[in-house]
């Protein structure tokens, strides 16, 4: 089996790490609080895209429902992440939904307030360009894996991203600190639960993954996963779920 070479326990990276201390203070000064209960929507597909949301506490998943009625999970945002997009016109709308997987504490930023900050402080605009560039890179890399390497490659890529986001290094591998069901994994790669069942069973048979007593996945051969999806060793800010 290939050796696990994860360099740290849990991913401490948030997508707001691109912002300087001063910029983040500017953002905090224009936020207002919002509570979102578990299983409630922060916003819906086709809602007006005129706000950004800073996740102070909780977890938010970004979803898109296909024409066949299947739900595809595009992102899972954690505490410290910034969610949303900047509309280029007054009638810009989201083309996905944001749903809380647990109770959330959110800071809301109105686009008009953000535009004022950007106008007053040019460095904020530069840092927001970096933030948007990183978000686009995450999206591109995910769709690359989904389209080029088949369902198995997509699953292997997703397991790597989960390890970077929730992994804890042990003497025998990388254990995911959060429990993900086969249905959760299926939604992340756009396939059926039965297909994920078969692929995970094969990976377990080949010694690539095992399962802890509580059902959490442990990755025991990270090199195999990287090879299966032609991993390009993207930085952690890109290779995340």
Confidence at residue 92, expressed as pLDDT on a 0 to 100 scale? 87
The residue among 2, 24, 7 whose CA lies nearest residue 224 is 2
Predicted TM-score of the model (pTM): 0.88
Given this model, what pLDDT does residue 57 score?
Answer: 96
Is residue 229 exposed (0-12), middle (13-18) or buried (19+ Cβ within 10 Å)? buried
Helix (H, G, I), strand (E, B) or coil at 170: strand
Q: Where are the beta strands (DSSP E) in the chain?
A: 32-36, 41-43, 51-57, 60-65, 71-77, 82-84, 97-100, 104-110, 167-170, 173-176, 209-211, 217-219
pLDDT by 10s per residue, the chain, length 241? 333 444 455 556 899 999 999 999 999 999 999 999 999 999 999 999 999 999 999 999 999 988 788 888 999 999 999 999 877 766 889 999 999 999 999 999 999 999 999 999 999 999 999 999 999 999 888 888 888 888 999 999 999 999 999 999 888 899 999 999 999 999 999 899 999 999 999 999 999 999 998 899 999 999 999 999 988 888 888 888 8
pLDDT at 9: 56
- What the chain holds in terms of domains, given with CATH numbers, is 15-142 (2.60.120.10), 150-228 (1.10.10.10)
So what's the pLDDT on residue 7? Answer: 47
């Amino acid at each position: 089996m290939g050796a696990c070479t994860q360099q740290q326990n849990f991913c401490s990276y948030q997508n707001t790490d691109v912002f300087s201390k001063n910029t983040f203070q500017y953002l905090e000064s224009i936020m207002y609080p919002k509570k979102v209960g578990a299983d409630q929507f922060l916003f819906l597909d086709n809602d007006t895209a005129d706000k950004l949301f800073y996740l102070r506490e909780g977890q938010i998943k970004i979803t898109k429902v296909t024409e066949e009625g299947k739900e595809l999970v595009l992102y899972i945002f954690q505490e410290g992440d910034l969610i949303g997009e900047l509309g280029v016109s007054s009638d810009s709308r989201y083309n996905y939904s944001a749903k809380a997987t647990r109770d959330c504490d959110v800071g809301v930023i109105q686009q008009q307030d953000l535009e004022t900050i950007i106008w007053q402080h040019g460095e904020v605009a530069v840092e927001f360009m970096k933030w948007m560039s990183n978000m686009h890179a995450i999206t591109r890399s995910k769709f690359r894996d989904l389209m080029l390497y088949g369902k198995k490659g997509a699953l292997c890529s997703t397991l790597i991203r989960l390890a970077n986001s929730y992994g804890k290094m042990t003497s025998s591998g990388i254990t995911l600190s959060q429990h993900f069901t086969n249905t959760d994994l299926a939604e992340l790669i756009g396939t059926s639960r039965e297909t994920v069942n078969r692929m995970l069973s094969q990976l377990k048979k080949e010694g690539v993954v095992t399962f802890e007593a509580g059902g959490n996945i442990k990755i025991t051969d990270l090199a195999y996963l990287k090879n299966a999806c032609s991993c390009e060793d993207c930085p952690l800010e890109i290779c995340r779920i």
